[in-house]
Amino acid sequence: MSYMRWPFRRTPTPSMNMPQGDDGDNSGQQLRPSSPLLLSLKQFLLWVGPALMVSIAYMDPGNYGTDLAAGAGYKYTLLWAGWLASGMAMLLQYLSGKLGIASGHHVAELVRQSFGGKKRYVIPYWLAAEAAAAATDLAEYLGTVLGLNILFHIPLIYCAIFGALDVIILLTMMTRRFRLIEQYFAVLISVLVIGIFYDLLVIGHFDVAQVAFGSVVPLAPGNTALFIAVGMIGATVMPHALFVHSWLSKNKMDLLGAPVSGRTEAPSIKDMPIAATEVRHTYTPEQMHRTNRLHRNETIIALTIAGVVNAGILLVAIPLYHGNGVNASLTVQTFVAGMSQIYGPAIGILFALTLLASGLSSSALGTIAGQVIMEGLIGKRVNIWARRIITRAVNVFPTTIAILLGLSPLVLLIYSQVILSLMIPLPMIPLVYYTSKTKFMGDLVNKRFTVALALVTVTLILSFNGLLLTTLF
């Protein structure tokens, strides 16, 4: 496999077809409305997709598990962890998407380049990244299982079997055009966001002073609270989302560019190259800066909504519990039953529906991320059906055994998110390094302030992980 030589910069070309403003390029004529505001809005709507898809990683079943445990066990005390995690995630996802726009390459691919393709370095890194993807899929699968159990009152053991069949839906989607996949995400995310906001509206009684205090004062009363806080970080700053955002942004940029090999419509995801053996389009610095602004704005909007949803999940758990530490009897099922008893069955059903939508949509993102990680690191593309079935089987069997043994799915969710937090450095450290180097980023290289924020983020995540490990061992 051949790769583009350093530096990875894209150069000007007259064939670029990205939506443009009044700068004289012909592509803007197709989209030029009478108002600059309408032009900007049209450009933004054309771009929307990458951060929207990634945002589901920040509203996945793992977030449900950790946020419910935080709200039920500690009321407002751990709100700060959710907001901090959302802020760090927003910065890192911005860097990931910007890397794809500026370099035309994604994180996993550049890691392979840095290792010189040497298997003794690449294979261990790939196996660790795959383990992170498997831990992510475990949470997604559990969300689907719990959603089915609550909505249809099917025993968990049967839900574990039926939940595995979501691969059929996902793999059918993966053979369609990329825009259809973005629309699939948009529908499920809309269900999720509207459902949580409705739950908040119905419950409606929160102590504003406690919300403000818990949002800014970093308290963790005890090792269990620290464990939950680290789980909240792992559920929010997700390794697979950092890997995949750079791939999504670089491909979205090319899909909006000149047709590839005479193609007149967007290719299906199965036709889209994951390892960049060539840069399919070239762009002027102005075009890349403009695209990066669209990416930045989409990331801020999408992940702000995700952060509010996470805070909402935590808040809806508060009225039902005393907040005296994590209750061993707490499960998603008992929580939904309690909500239904107090506020009516509709609110419980809606919460379960949002959980199911979260599981289905995050599974789709996990499938894409797994392909990106594998092909970017080892240069091989496995049949997507085989990969998805194998990945799901890896989680179906241990989950089924855990259910038969009577272990709580909520506990499994929380532990999987703590594992993810420990694995965040895998993509995070390379990502901060690449985006801070001109040879990868050109004019879009990180400014000093961005580098400082990124280093603070890295330090915080490593510190939280280290503190947790010292309390465990």
Asked if residue 26 is part of any domain, the answer here is no
Asked if residue 37 is part of any domain, the answer here is no
Asked if residue 48 is part of any domain, the answer here is no
Q: What is the pLDDT of residue 31?
A: 41
Q: What is the pLDDT of residue 384?
A: 63
Asked if residue 47 is part of any domain, the answer here is no
What are phi and psi for residue 204, nearest 5 degrees? 60, -5
The counts of H helices and E strands in the chain are 20, 0
The answer to whether 57 touches 365, Cβ cutoff 8 Å, is yes
pLDDT value at 271 more than 60: no
pLDDT value at 260 more than 50: no
Residue 304 corresponds to which tokens in the numbers above?
């702000």
Is the entire prediction scored with pTM above 0.75? yes
Q: What is the mean pLDDT of residues 10-22?
A: 40
What CATH code is carried by the domain that includes residue 241? Answer: 1.20.1740
What are phi and psi for residue 34, nearest 5 degrees? -75, -25
Domain count, the chain: 1
The answer to whether 269 touches 369, Cβ cutoff 8 Å, is no
Q: What is the pLDDT of residues 429-447, one digit of tens each?
A: 999 999 999 999 999 999 9
Asked if residue 51 is part of any domain, the answer here is no
Asked if residue 17 is part of any domain, the answer here is no
Q: What is the pLDDT of residues 388-441, one digit of tens each?
A: 666 666 656 666 676 677 677 777 778 888 888 889 999 999 999 999 999 999
Residue 50 corresponds to which tokens in the numbers above?
């990458």
Q: What is the mean pLDDT of residues 251-280?
A: 49
CB count within 10 Å of CB 124 equals 11
How many whole angstroms separate alpha carbon 258 and alpha carbon 254?
A: 7
pLDDT value at 11 more than 70: no
Q: What letter does residue 3 receive in the DSSP assignment?
A: -
Give the HSE-up count for residue 302: Cα atoms under 13 Å, Cβ half-sphere: 30
Q: What is the mean pLDDT of the chain?
A: 79
How many whole angstroms separate alpha carbon 69 and alpha carbon 59?
A: 15
Q: What is the pLDDT of residue 385?
A: 64
CB count within 10 Å of CB 408 equals 17
Asked if residue 24 is part of any domain, the answer here is no
Residue 434 corresponds to which tokens in the numbers above?
């690449």
Q: What is the pLDDT of residues 40-71, one digit of tens each?
A: 788 888 888 899 889 888 888 888 888 988 99
What is the band of 362 on the pLDDT scale with cuts at 50, 70, 90? Answer: confident
Q: What is the pLDDT of residues 320-352, one digit of tens each?
A: 887 677 665 677 888 888 888 888 888 888 888
Asked if residue 16 is part of any domain, the answer here is no
Q: What is the mean pLDDT of residues 446-459?
A: 96
Q: What is the pLDDT of residues 103-162, one digit of tens each?
A: 989 999 999 999 998 989 999 999 999 888 877 777 777 788 888 888 888 887 778 777
Q: What is the dihedral of CA 394, 396, 400, 403, to 10 degrees?
A: 100
Domain boundaries, position 355: 61-472
Q: What is the pLDDT of residue 13?
A: 38
